[in-house]
Structure formats: structure tokens, C-alpha cells
């Protein structure tokens, strides 16, 4: 049975939260961002409620270092802006206050309610079960039950440093269990991106997904069609650029969600008889995870080059078999696949263009004669394209000797490089000599002058 908004209101008003005093939980202010503490204390001084909430509290309890710190308060966004000069208000769907401290941003959200029977009722809009606007404010109890997962509905109260739990989140945290608050199907209809968040948190924390929360993942993936393509791009970056992308890929495929996000790729992987396409994706995501865990930079351009390469490669092969030149086939296949993908996940041009350059450079690695290797080596996308070539070689898609040649070529001295391409240079077609014009002086500057042919 699905809970209505009124059900949630009655439940929240009747719910007595679990209050865990400071000596009985492991959160210390020493582990909280100094800027987050500034925001909490300042709101408290202005007689507003102020709580650390969400992932920051969850991660502190698990002994992890939080990536960011979010604050929940009964102050409206406008009131928060009055308190902090370094504050900007953002968002229409969810109105938020961002308090800036250099590069660090502390997000401050006002307690959300359901808006039923209040003057804020118009600020909460639901269309076909999906929340399209949620700026109706309420109490902390209402706010807790409007959050997605129980482990994200824990509040650290700066007033007395206690922990407040309205949804049995502490029990789920201790059990390593991911559970939605309320009726799972209704909550997924309200915001289908919660399905992707379920996968993300399960992979990030190593938690199991509670049965009632997991079951709709197999059935409601089609709801993602109603999510803006730009928002899905943002969610996928969170999924694949957090150091556990390979696990995410496998879980998304398990629930049938990957096929809805990358239909061309899933079709290519499902129909491929050989194993190297899946191997390339697996190896690419594993390498990305390794770089992230080592603190090295990664780019969405390379990520999407991995995820979309198989349908591009398959299309290139068909075009070349029909007689199209390889370079033209790469450009056309890339354009076709990217155009279809944009309707599902909107990849910004600042990433899609370099992604397509990575693909376009792949045939040039086969050209190892004359000056071509030297020109390719100076291309701005050479390093990313070379890394992609290594993945293709590891997956068995191209001969390993090709990748090994380029590895040696990069590390070789100028003389060694010349020797590596010398054989290819000798095989090149000799330049045609021009015939000397009649009457031209022997030994003149005319090209070909002095040759036997020109002297005739």
C-alpha cells in the first residue's frame, strides 16, 4: 500500500525520534569542516535550528572522510542569505542556499514539508507521480521523512551535539542495509534518479539493498526516460567517477538500467560473439577506478569514449566493409552514435568533441611511416588516444605489437625514432622527378636539373 502525503504528515507528527547523546555516538567536531561549523554556529546564534545532515553524517559514522557537508535548517533560503554575505541562492526545482568559502561550498537546505493544507501548497508540484518542484517548507520531522534513504536521514544537532534519527537509519547503517523511506515504488516515481542513487550508494558503501527497495529496480527503469538528459549526465559522472565505476557498470546491467542509459552499447554488447568489447569496458572502468583511487585526474571525455566505443566500432566495420575509407567511416559512425546518445544522456560539447577526437585518432596509429608518427605525437589528444589504444590492445581488439611500438616510440631518442620509421620511409613511393625544360642550363636550379632524364 502506497503512502500518501497526508500519511507521511501523520507519521512524522506522531514519530518520536531516537536521540543519541554526544557520549554515545562517534561524531567529533574535529572531523567536521571548519567552514561547515561556521555555518552551523552562525545559524544557531541567529536563533535558527542548524543540523548537519545527509552523506556527511553517514560517512562520519562509518569512519569515512566526507566529500562535502550539508546543513539543514528552519531558516528559509532568503533568511540564510541575510545571515551570510557570501551566500548565493540556486535552483528552481529545489531552492537552496550555497555559502561560499573559497573553493568550498556549504549547501544549506530549508526543512522540506509536504505543503498540504498550508500557504506553501503551491510550492510543491507533482506531475504523473514525479516531483517537479519541492519548495514547501516544514518541520525537521517532515524533512526527515521526505529524504530518500534512511541512512541519509540522520541529523547532527549543533545545539547539543546529539544525533537525531527519525527513520531507523542507525539500525540500517549498522546492518549495512540500504532502504528507502516510505513506499519504494512511490518514491521511485517521485524521482526516478533514486534508482541510480540506490546503485551508487550500494557500490560506494558495500551495502546490500533491502528487498522491497531492490525489487522495483528491475521493473521501473523506464521511468528514467522522463528525466532530463542533462541531469542524467551529472548523475552518471557521480556514478562512474567515484572510484567504483566497474561495480556500478555491473550493477546497472544486472538491473537492466544500463540498457536504458546506453541502448546502443547494450545492444552491441549483447549481440557480440567475441569477448573483447565487454573486456574493453571492464578494463577501461577498472583503470579509471585505479586512477581515481590514486588521486590522479580523469575526464568524462575518456569515460564516455569507453562506454560508447563498441557501437561506434561496429558501425565503422560495417561502413569499411561497404567500401568507405576508414577516416570517413570513423567520423560518420561517431556522429550517428553520439546523436542517438544525446537523447538519453546529454554529453556537453566540451567532453563530446575530445571524445570523438580520441576515436578519430585510432586509425592514425596504424600509420608508422615517414613524418606521420611525429605529427601524431604532437597532437593535443595524443596521450588520451594512446591510452585508449592500450585498452584496445589489452582487450585483444588490435595487435599488442602496435601498442608496444608506440610505447617505445615515445620513449626513444630522436635518432632511435628516425630508425624506427626508417624502414617505412624506404618503402614509401619515391618522389617523381620533374623533366628539365628544353634549353635549361645543366646544373641549374630547376627541380630535376642534372638528372639523366632531364639531360635527354
Residues 319-351: tens digit of each pLDDT: 999 999 999 999 999 999 999 999 999 999 999
Residue 307: name the closest of 328, 326, 288, 331 by CA. Answer: 288
CATH 3.30.460.10 is the classification of domain 9-174? yes
Looking at domain 264-427, its CATH architecture is Orthogonal Bundle (1.10)
Tell me whether residue 68 is one of the annotated catalytic residues: yes
**If pLDDT is split at 50, 70 and 90, which confidence band does 359 have?**
very high
pLDDT tens-digit map of 182-217: 999 999 999 999 999 999 999 999 999 999 999 999
**If pLDDT is split at 50, 70 and 90, which confidence band does 56 have?**
very high
CA distance 44 to 39: 9
Burial class (CB in 10 A: 0-12, 13-18, 19+), 17: middle
State the average pLDDT over residues 72-79: 96
pLDDT for the residue numbered 234: 97
Catalytic residue (choose from 59, 74, 134, 148): 148
Beta strands in 26-76 (DSSP E): 50-53, 70-73
Catalytic residue (choose from 70, 143, 247, 264): 70
Residue 269 in this model has a pLDDT that exceeds 50: yes
Cβ-Cβ contacts under 8 Å for 293 (sequence gap 6 or more):
243
Tell me whether residue 70 is one of the annotated catalytic residues: yes
**If pLDDT is split at 50, 70 and 90, which confidence band does 94 have?**
confident
Please tell me the least confidently modeled range out of 169-183, 420-434, 440-454.
440-454
- Please report, for the chain, the start and end positions of each structural domain, with discontinuous segments joined by +: 9-174, 264-427
pLDDT for the residue numbered 443: 42
Q: Radius of gyration over alpha carbons of the chain, in Å?
A: 30
Catalytic residue (choose from 5, 7, 68, 120): 68
pLDDT for the residue numbered 433: 52
pLDDT for the residue numbered 99: 97
pLDDT for the residue numbered 4: 39
CA 144 → CA 11, 36, 189, 393, distances in Å?
Answer: 11, 20, 19, 50
**If pLDDT is split at 50, 70 and 90, which confidence band does 175 have?**
very high
Q: Which residue has the higher pLDDT, 44 or 431?
A: 44
Residue 224: name the closest of 206, 212, 239 by CA. Answer: 239
Q: 0.85 cut: is pTM over it?
A: no
Tell me whether residue 387 is one of the annotated catalytic residues: no
Amino acid at each position: 500500500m502506497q503512502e500518501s502525503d497526508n500519511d507521511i504528515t501523520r507519521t512524522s507528527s506522531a514519530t518520536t525520534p531516537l536521540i543519541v547523546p554526544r557520549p554515545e555516538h562517534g561524531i567529533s567536531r574535529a572531523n567536521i569542516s571548519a567552514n561547515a561549523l561556521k555555518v552551523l554556529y552562525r545559524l544557531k546564534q541567529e536563533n535558527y535550528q542548524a543540523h548537519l545532515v545527509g552523506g556527511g553524517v553517514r560517512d562520519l559514522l562509518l569512519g569515512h572522510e566526507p566529500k562535502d557537508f550539508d546543513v539543514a535548517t528552519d531558516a528559509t533560503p532568503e533568511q540564510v542569505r541575510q545571515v551570510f554575505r557570501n551566500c548565493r541562492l540556486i535552483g528552481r526545482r529545489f531552492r537552496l542556499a550555497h555559502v561560499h568559502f573559497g573553493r568550498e561550498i556549504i549547501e544549506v537546505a530549508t526543512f522540506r514539508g509536504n505543503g498540504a493544507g498550508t500557504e506553501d501548497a503551491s510550492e510543491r508540484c507533482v506531475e504523473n507521480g514525479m516531483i517537479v518542484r519541492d519548495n514547501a517548507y516544514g518541520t525537521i520531522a517532515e524533512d526527515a521523512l521526505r529524504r530518500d534513504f534512511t541512512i541519509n536521514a540522520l541529523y547532527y544537532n549543533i545545539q547539543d551535539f546529539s544525533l537525531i534519527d527519525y527513520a531507523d537509519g542507525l539500525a540500517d547503517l549498522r546492518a549495512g542495509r540500504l532502504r528507502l523511506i516510505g513506499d519504494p515504488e512511490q518514491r521511485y516515481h517521485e524521482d526516478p534518479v533514486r534508482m541510480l542513487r540506490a546503485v551508487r550508494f550500494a557500490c560506494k558503501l558495500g551495502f546490500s539493498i533491502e528487498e522491497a527497495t531492490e525489487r522495483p529496480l528491475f521493473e521501473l527503469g523506464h521511468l528514467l526516460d522522463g528525466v532530463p538528459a542533462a541531469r542524467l549526465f551529472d548523475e552518471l559522472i557521480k556514478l562512474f567517477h567515484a572510484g567504483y565505476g566497474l561495480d556500478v557498470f555491473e550493477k546497472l546491467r544486472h538491473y537492466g538500467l544500463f540498457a536504458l542509459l546506453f541502448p546502443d552499447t547494450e545492444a552491441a554488447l549483447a549481440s557480440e560473439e567475441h569477448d573483447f568489447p565487454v573486456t574493453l569496458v571492464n578494463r577501461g572502468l577498472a583503470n579509471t577506478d585505479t586512477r581515481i583511487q590514486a588521486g590522479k585526474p580523469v575526464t568524462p571525455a575518456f569515460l564516455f569514449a569507453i562506454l560508447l566505443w563498441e557501437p561506434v566500432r561496429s558501425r565503422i566495420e560495417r561502413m569499411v566493409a561497404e567500401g568507405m575509407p576508414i577516416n570517413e567511416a570513423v567520423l560518420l559512425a561517431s556522429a550517428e552514435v553520439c546523436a542517438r546518445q544525446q537523447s538519453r544522456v546529454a554529453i556537453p560539447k566540451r567532453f563530446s568533441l575530445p571524445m570523438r577526437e580520441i576515436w578519430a585518432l585510432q586509425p592514425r596509429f596504424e600509420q608508422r611511416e615517414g613524418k606521420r608518427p611525429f605529427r601524431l605525437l604532437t597532437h593535443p589528444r595524443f596521450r588520451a588516444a594512446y591510452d585508449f589504444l592500450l585498452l584496445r590492445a589489452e582487450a585483444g581488439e588490435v595487435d599488442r605489437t602496435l601498442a608496444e611500438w608506440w610505447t617505445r616510440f615515445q620513449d626513444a631518442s630522436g635518432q632511435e625514432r628516425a630508425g624506427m620509421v626508417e624502414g617505412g620511409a624506404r618503402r614509401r613511393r619515391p618522389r617523381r622527378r620533374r623533366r628539365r625544360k628544353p634549353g635549361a642550363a645543366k646544373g641549374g636550379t630547376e627541380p630535376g636539373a642534372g638528372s639523366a632524364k632531364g639531360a635527354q
